[in-house]
Amino acid sequence: MDFVGFWLIGPMGAFGGPAGHEYRKTGQIPTRSGVLGLIGAAMGVSRDNAVGQGRLRHLGVSVASYNVGAGFRDFHTVQGVPSARIKSPKSRAQALAALTPSDNASITRRDYVTDCAYGVAVWRQAEDAPELDDVADALRHPVYVPYLGRKSCPVSHPMVPQVIQANDSVVVFDQMSMPVGLPYVATPKFVTTDEAIDADRVDWMMDDPVDRELWHFERSAAHTVYRSGGVS
């Protein structure tokens, strides 16, 4: 079975989860929708490209966690102009000019994790899926800048995609070499995969993207196998 294996390494990341307007949490590993979104960005597939987004859904995703550090929380302020005062401002400057001292800003919170090191493997689950060689080429020369969940979290190392043959989406990582100079163990702590394998645990995640423009998602099963270090 053919896979494209690549690395996602960066000083910090944020990986979805239940998203409220005022508080956005993060998971410990990239989600299925996050990986598909990153591949789509690398291939230049825009959010309004329904056909291209639909093809990406036919890729299977497996993520291996090699390292994730401590988390931290960032605070933002969000402020809107009352529509009763100005409707459809034509620029940010026009919107700011309409604000008054009595217009209070809202505080929002964003969670992040640090020292991220993940291996990712993807494979074709249907004929409509992108060709793996095309996926690998796009990850080498991405159209849009790849990042780990949020634009403030760019990758710090080349993704080094390669086409690998393996029996399943867990052992594929045994054939991937950690980039030189990184102080992480060579064996992942655990692997979470779309593949229906004999797993240590199975979770249901709302992270299979149905419509990127409307932000509609369906449930998908995440099968986790612990490789080293026990439960993380």
Residue 104 CB contacts under 8 Å (≥ 6 apart), including other chains: 79
Position 231 scores a pLDDT of: 42
Residue 31 has pLDDT above 50, yes or no: yes
Region 18-25 average pLDDT: 73
**DSSP string for residues in 76-116:** EEE----TTT-SS-SSHHHHHHT--TT-PPEEEEEEEEEEE
Region 87-98 average pLDDT: 85
**Could you report the per-residue pLDDT of 154-169, keeping only the tens digit for each?**
999 999 999 999 999 9
Give backbone dihedrals phi and psi of 27, rounded to 5 degrees, phi first.
-85, 180
Residue 130 has pLDDT above 60, yes or no: yes
Region 86-115 average pLDDT: 86
Q: For residue 216, give the H/E element and its range.
A: strand 216-226
Query: Rounded to 5, what percent of the chain is helix, strand, coil?
Result: 15, 35, 45
Nearest to 187 by CA among 119, 111, 90, 102: 119
Region 56-67 average pLDDT: 97
Nearest to 110 by CA among 77, 147, 76: 76
Answer for the pair 22, 109: CB distance below 8 angstroms, yes or no.
yes
Position 18 scores a pLDDT of: 63
Long-range interactions of 106-109: CB distance < 8 A, separation 24+: 106/22, 106/77, 106/78, 106/79, 107/22, 107/75, 107/76, 107/77, 107/78, 108/21, 108/22, 108/23, 108/24, 108/75, 108/76, 108/77, 108/78, 109/22, 109/23, 109/24, 109/73, 109/74, 109/75, 109/76
Q: Is 25 helix (H, G, I), strand (E, B) or coil?
A: coil
Count of Cβ atoms closer than 10 Å to residue 53 Cβ = 20
The confidence band for 108, taking pLDDT boundaries of 50, 70 and 90, is confident
Position 232 scores a pLDDT of: 39
**Could you report the per-residue pLDDT of 194-230, keeping only the tens digit for each?**
999 999 999 999 889 888 888 788 999 999 999 865 4
User: Beta-strand (E) ranges in 49-197?
Assistant: 59-67, 71-78, 106-124, 162-165, 190-193
> What does the alpha-carbon distance between residue 105 and residue 21 come to, in Å, rounded to a whole number?
13
Answer for the pair 219, 205: CB distance below 8 angstroms, yes or no.
yes
Task: Give the mean pLDDT of the chain.
Answer: 91
Position 84 scores a pLDDT of: 77
User: What is the pTM assigned to this prediction?
Assistant: 0.86
Q: Is 161 helix (H, G, I), strand (E, B) or coil?
A: coil
Count of Cβ atoms closer than 10 Å to residue 54 Cβ = 16
